[in-house]
Structure 1
């Protein structure tokens, strides 16, 4: 073989090897045979053409087809079955709702309440001692502060002209120059009403003398003059009247007393706000107070039943229980200090002010406080009308440690008072709930306040010098209750849980507990 032939043979073998390395593709004619590519495909990939599938589209039934199907017996039976099931389900739910309503306990009807039953009354017997301006205008400027305490009424005065033991100069309709002017009094009423505070005027005739209705003059004469004055003060917008010594006029001239009551308490129309008649007596016997309260027909009667020296827990329990059993709860009034007797802190001791605040706010009835009782104001050595102390919001500079401590104590006492007043104004069990005694001894007292399905409250106080452990049991009580407010914030922390079967109350301390309606 020649060299040229050997070269040609090698070229053929090389061409065949190159073709084997080329990728194979399907024949474009569709016969499935592999053909050599034109050199555009690499790495052994094969191009396969798959025919596209047509997208299917759901069209549903036409109107005519639906009508034909809907009329078939199977669909008719199905529709009737679904309709019956719907109405059976609806009637079942209705029956269930009716059963729940029928089986649920009925809410008790609310007792008849008046505005003075919803919060404390606040007495300012001498307007000169209440503010720096020492008049009615200064009292008006402090209305915002009283509004923060949630007081329902401001008992003002007496402010009329009445020199001591001198009936000839008595003038019910004239405002004493020491108190201010009639225009200032009108301004006070308008400002107080804007804050939802009512104004009650003390019209005790001989308020600076030895006997409220004069001892050397006919009560008939004074009562007749008072009737005319009541009409005048009603026209000025007062919301009620307070009178001391009501037992004398009610017993000596009952017909005139009936007229006085009618003028004050007759409200004319149902939409007109009721006016209050408050009586004041020095009597301290619960039996005498109950009889007087019912015989005079006053709306509230202030008395000395809680003022007797050395009262024990058992004494308190007996007084409260007797008056609760013999009087309407909405007629009960609790107060210790007043214009003639002085302030709470001086009567019970400065360390027991909060304890007695809790008592008066949680007993059944209306609490009545003397001005300054909310901060523990004490009487002066020679006067029962000390100047009111007003602490600014920010602590003044330059106060020594003693003055700082006194200021902080006043603010703390006021906060405690305000918290109790807030609770008294919104909790039905405290407003008009049943009073249930739980425990009493010489040093301690505990009771339960309940109303229908509202939150229940337990108040416990200890006047003694040693801690007491109270074992409180009653069908209404759970095993444990929560602390709502306490004078001993270290031992009885707010929102902590305590065991009612072994409740420990420290010396000179008080606690208010609460628990929900148990059904």
Structure 2
């Protein structure tokens, strides 16, 4: 049936069916019989209200370039940069005002590693076919690879020589021109040379009554000899606390002489080695201004003809760790060490505050008959026909770490005692530990000299950060990150760990 039944009605309209209620809003309220009703009624338009429509491209460009919008954009840009500058200034103020450690200026003798050796022991044959000076020149690259910064040479001047001949060198070692060449090669390698006068009779018996006056006399043989060596490029001298020259009056004269030849980057120094008692400061060191002696070398172990038992070694190290800390000192091993403890002793020596002084061969193992050879960048040790690659990796790791870490150079020192109740047996020795700190960087040194493994108790040091990374260990088998809560010390093991505070990984 077609929708448009009435030909008079258009499509989309409906005819009125007759009288009835109309559609509201239309005129008259009713639709007549001949009118149509639209299917979609338009919305009523409110008078006086403009209809919204988007801007065209031309209108948008015209509006954006108006003076009002230019002012708004300019003010927003200025507000952004002012806010950024205020935040930057606040950050700088916080950094400047926040407390931070100030690195103290160190002298060269406070930063360098000292190496004590006797050139006479380096000669190839007992007859001295190759002089010790020439052998030393060939060994300089090896010493440089160990980060050695200063050499203390023993036996260069014969002990039987008189006070008037202190400018002569031992003929068994070589000639004076060879020694001058050695000094020049050492300086090229960035190292310094000190002469050892310990146990050297710098005064003869006739002058023993007036020893101090002779040493203080600038025209005397002693002063002449010291000036001669300083002019040759020697960076200082080493004496013992038992020498006759170790008096306050003599040291004052020597100090003036050393200052006269000191340069900005090459201060001439005097080193005193304690030999009478490893744990008692001598009277002169206690009564003389510390500037008279730049370094006072103390021994970790008491003097002994034979290696000490392990308990005595542990006791001696603990006494050294608990001893009062001087402003600056130097440490050496001081006595023979059992082979199983040699590496642990070296860890202690290289991480204690002060300047380490290592004797020739201690970086390897003084108890073994070893020969050190350097081939390229690799170092080998030959012992009974066998070779071990990088056998001194521990020493190199310690020396390199010390040379670049502020915490090990001048950081604070804290001894960390262990609770003896945590030991597994009554005969076990408690481990030793100490902390070197600088700012937020902490180096933890753990030493287990006992024959049994030792786990770290969680409540041992609750204020320490529990996480870190291994720096080195006596067996060189500790790598990667570490948690103190799960760490177990092996027997006869020393470990160096760099601890991180919460969220810090620098």
Deviation, 1:378, is 3.2
Deviates most, 114-123 or 417-426:
114-123
**Structure-2 change in CA distance of 1:289 and 1:354 (3 Å):** farther
The change in CA–CA distance for 1:106 and 1:432 in structure 2 (over 3 A counts) is same
**Alignment partner for residue 273 of structure 1, among 248, 266, 277?**
266
Matches of 1:474 and 1:290, distance apart in 2: 38
2:152 is matched with which residue: 147, 155, 159?
155
Aligned to 2:119: 127
CA distance in 2, matches of 1:278, 1:190: 22
Match of 2:332 in 1: 335
Q: Distance in 2 between matches of 1:97 and 1:404?
A: 66
Match of 1:369 in 2: 358
Q: Distance in 2 between matches of 1:486 and 1:290?
A: 38
Flag the structure with higher helix content.
1
Deviations 1:286-317 (A, max 9, x none): 34259726626311112335335453545423
Q: State the secondary structure of the residue aligned to 2:372.
A: coil
After superposition, the Cα gap between the structure-2 partners of 1:180 and 1:469, relative to the gap in structure 1 and judged at 3 Å, is same
Structure 1 residues 139-218: aligned runs within 5 Å: 139-163=136-160, 167=162, 171-204=165-198, 206-207=199-200, 217-218=208-209
Secondary structure of 2:384 counterpart? helix
Partner of 2:258: 264
User: Any idea what the Cα deviations from partners look like across 1:347-391, whole Å, max 9, x if unmatched?
Assistant: 1111222111111111111111111111113388xxxxxxx7233
User: Structure 1 residues 226 and 276 mapped into 2: Cα distance closer, same or farther (>3 Å)?
Assistant: same
Cα distance change on mapping 1:114 and 1:272 into 2, 3 Å: closer
Question: Deviation per CA, 1:120-176, whole angstroms, max 9, x where unpaired?
Answer: 21111x21212432321221121111111111111112312431xx646x5211112
TM-score (norm 1): 0.71
Q: Can you give the 5+ residue segments of structure 2 that lack an aligned partner in the other structure?
A: 1-56, 125-129, 421-428
Answer yes or no: is the 8 Å Cα contact 2:115–2:150 preserved in 1.
yes
Separation in 2 of the partners of 1:273 and 1:214? 32
The answer for the alignment partner of 1:5 in structure 2 is none
TM-score (normalised: structure 2)? 0.72
**Residue matched to 1:99:** 90
Q: Is the 8 A contact 2:162 2:203 kept in 1?
A: no
Contact 1:241/1:264 (<8 A) preserved: no
2:469 aligned residue (482, 485, 491): 482
> Residues 88, 259 of structure 1: CA spacing in aligned structure 2 closer, same or farther, 3 A cutoff?
same
Aligned 8 A contact 1:462 1:505 in 2: yes
Say if 2:108 and 2:265, in contact at 8 Å, map to a contact too. no
Aligned to 1:27: none
**Is this contact kept in 2: 1:220–1:256, CA < 8 A?**
yes
Q: Equivalents in 2 of 1:235, 1:377: separation in Å?
A: 35
Q: Over aligned residue pairs, what C-alpha RMSD do you find?
A: 3.3
The offset of 1:475, in angstroms, is: 6.4
* Contact kept? 2:133, 2:182, Cα under 8 Å: yes
* Bigger relative CO (Cα 8 Å, ≥ 6 apart): 1
The 8 Å contact of residues 150 and 193 in structure 2, kept in 1 or not, is answered as yes
**Contact 2:443–2:499 (CA<8 Å) still a contact in 1?**
yes
Q: How does 1:434-513 map to 2 (within 5 A)?
A: 434-440=412-418, 442-453=429-440, 455-471=441-457, 473-474=460-461, 477-489=464-476, 493-498=478-483, 500-501=484-485, 503-513=487-497
2:51 aligns with none
SS of 1:152's equivalent? Answer: strand
> Any idea what SS the aligned residue of 1:390 has?
strand
1:403 aligned partner? 384
Residue matched to 2:394: 416
Q: Quickly say closer, same or farther: Cα 1:275–1:214, change in 2 above 3 A.
A: same
Tell me the CA shift for residue 502 of structure 1: 5.3
SS at match of 2:79: helix
Contact 1:128 1:135 in 2 (8 A): yes
**Cα 1:73/1:470, change in 2 over 3 Å:** closer
Query: In structure 2, how many angstroms separate the alpha carbons of the residues matched to 1:146 and 1:128?
Result: 17
* Structure 1 residues 296-311: aligned runs within 5 Å: 297-307=292-302, 309=308, 311=312
Q: 1:476 to 1:263 in 2, by over 3 A?
A: farther
User: Which runs of no fewer than 5 residues in structure 1 stay unpaired?
Assistant: 1-59, 62-68, 342-346, 381-387
Q: 2:240 aligns to what?
A: 244
In the alignment, the residues of structure 2 paired with residue 199 and residue 448 of structure 1 have an alpha-carbon distance, to the nearest angstrom, of 32
Q: Which moved more, 1:91-100 or 1:147-156?
A: 91-100
